[in-house]
Amino acid sequence: MVQKAPEWLTLQFMEIKSGQTDDRIQNLVNQVRSLHAELDAEIRSFQSASGLHCLAGCGKCCLKPDIEATPLEFLPLALSLYHEGVAAEWQKSIESGDSICKVYNEGQSGQGKCTRYPDRGMICRLFGYSARKNKYSEKELITCQIIKEDQREAFDEASARINSDMEVPGAADFYARLRAIDAGLGGVQLPVNRAIAMALDVVMSYYFYKEREQA
């Protein structure tokens, strides 16, 4: 079952009916994409400084069944699917599928298994190349066991330097900024497919009412 959409969406429907609204969804998507672009730039800088990198064609982190994300970070994906005319199809597929991310495709050739890489969520971008603070207020890298073992020397050096002279994206900081864009959609953590499904529900509901009122 898809979680109930945030209250602002109901209020937005009222604004649509009164003709006093711009495209709220597109505005949110623009802000999320801008934040993602800033994060990507910081990640590229950290990768260059640390030498850490994902193994080509890996994708094993996407196979975790307990990945959580916010609907807001997948709003760009939902809007892209809506404009492609496949949003409802994707939502039905998610509701009848398993817990592995709907966007993941084991059979995809190339460097990764993500079928919608440009519209991937914030959690997908952060994992591997961000940090959190432990109980001693020290930064710890959030990354996978494969990188820790296969790139041990670079990992150990980066782990030390992020607490001195190496910049690294802060996971909590970026999620705080995501919540600041919209607390309703950016403040709830759901299993990844439920987050995508809720983003799809919000987009489809919004444009259903918008198009009906404009007809």
pLDDT digits 0-9 by tens, 147-184: 999 999 999 999 999 999 999 999 999 999 999 999 98
Residue at 106 is within a domain: yes
Residue at 2 is within a domain: no
Residue at 119 is within a domain: yes
Residue at 200 is within a domain: yes
Q: How far apart are CA 179 and CA 176, in angstroms?
A: 5
- Name residue 69's beta-bridge partners: 190
| 64-87 average pLDDT score | 95
Helices (H), 71-191: 75-83, 87-96, 122-126, 145-150, 152-161, 171-181, 183-186
Residue at 155 is within a domain: yes
Residue at 193 is within a domain: yes
Q: How many domains does the chain have?
A: 1
Residue at 17 is within a domain: yes
Q: How far apart are CA 2 and CA 5, in angstroms?
A: 8
| 73-96 average pLDDT score | 94
- Taking the model in full, what pTM does it have? 0.89
| 195-203 average pLDDT score | 94
What confidence score (pLDDT) does residue 99 get? 80
Residue at 81 is within a domain: yes
Q: With 90 as the cut, is the pLDDT of residue 208 above it?
A: no
Q: How far apart are CA 42 and CA 54, in angstroms?
A: 16
What confidence score (pLDDT) does residue 17 get? 53
Tokens matching residue 91: 């939502």
The answer to whether residues 162 and 139 touch, using CB atoms and an 8 Å cutoff, is yes
Q: How far apart are CA 164 and CA 156, in angstroms?
A: 13
Domain that holds residue 17: 7-214
